[in-house]
Amino acid sequence: MTTQTLQLLALSTLTAVTLAACAPSETQSSDRSSNQAETSTSSKDVTDNQQVKDQLKRLEDRYDARVGVSALDTESGESVDHRADERFGFASSLKVFAVAELLDRTTPKELEKNVTWTQADVDEAGWTPVTEKHVDDGLPLEDVAESALRVSDNLAMNIVLDELGGPEALDDAMEKDGDSTTEVTDEEPELNDVEEGSTDNTTTPAAFTASLQGLLAPDRLSDDDRRVLLDWMSANETGDPLIRAGAPEGWVVRDKSGHSDAIQNDIAVVTPPDREPIVISVMTETDDPESEDGPALVAAVAEAVLTEFE
């Protein structure tokens, strides 16, 4: 090889190295753009979430109330939380989990069993719009369970709990399914009683949202049981002025409400058109147990939160 050839090769190699060192790589540029986009999206999510929390704080001030929210978009994984780990009395919103457990444990044939009760049972339970009419003849267990959800019949709830083995049995079942937060202690109407400093008859919005999401899982309920449960929730008469009132038009709301004195709750599976559902728990407690603003507060909270998922 001649001296001239060696010089040309050296010059060519030097030029290639120099160009490689000076030119930014496409991978580095792509990574940088991707990181910038992720940072921008993350900042936007944090900002949006803070705006919702600020709005919820204003609602708390306006209604003299404490508000707890846990909402999860099961499609995107996005969530909105406010006081999500604080304890609230669950009141009748617990009924959805009792009925779900009953459906899971029974066959359609077993649900045909006729159940009876006494007038004393009716008197002790309080709110009994269906069962009070059937003291003489009773009802099939399926109708009793449906009454617990659709019209929040208290005696119907107690009968469901009795079929499961009592409040402790429901508490054990919920813990087995991953909810170690909720404390089921009493039947109706005592399950509405919450003593300061006690966890009895309380839960958190985060715990109820996780438990409600669990009911949608294919390994938790059969397709038929889930269909029945959601159908009964979709016609929950006590839920019309609550989350359903605050949801965007065209969104389907399947819910279970809970109310007692200062407590006004609603938990729901909310399905936007052509999307996977949003699971949401709204729990409120006003400073005035005589206040009638609970439904309006829950609706306003639902509107503020669900708008973020549009």
Is residue 36 predicted with pLDDT exceeding 80?
A: no
* CATH T-level topology, domain 44-309: Beta-lactamase (3.40.710)
Distance from chain centroid for Cα 281: 4
The tokens of 309 are what? 């998922």
Give 206-258 pLDDT, tens digit per residue. Answer: 999 999 999 999 999 999 999 999 999 997 888 999 999 999 999 999 999 99
Q: Is 146 assigned a catalytic role? A: no
Give 40-94 pLDDT, tens digit per residue. Answer: 344 344 456 889 999 999 999 999 999 999 999 999 999 999 999 999 999 999 9
Is residue 150 predicted with pLDDT exceeding 60?
A: yes
Q: Which of 60, 70, 79, 92 is catalytic?
A: 92
Beta bridge partners of 47: none
Give 166-195 pLDDT, tens digit per residue. Answer: 999 999 999 999 999 999 999 999 999 999
Q: Is 101 assigned a catalytic role? A: no
- Residue 261 CA to residue 285 CA, distance in Å, equals 9
Q: Which of 190, 195, 237, 276 is catalytic?
A: 190
Side chain identity at residue 231, one-letter code: D
pLDDT averaged over every residue in the chain: 88
Q: 302 to each of 80, 121, 151, 193, 203, how far by Cα in Å? A: 11, 36, 21, 25, 19
What does the pLDDT read at residue 34?
45
Q: Which of 163, 182, 158, 160 is nearest to 172 (CA)?
A: 182
- Residue 102 CA to residue 156 CA, distance in Å, equals 12
| Domains in the chain: boundaries | 44-309
Alpha helices of the chain — where are they, by DSSP H?
3-22, 26-63, 95-105, 119-125, 141-150, 154-164, 167-176, 205-214, 223-234, 243-246, 294-306
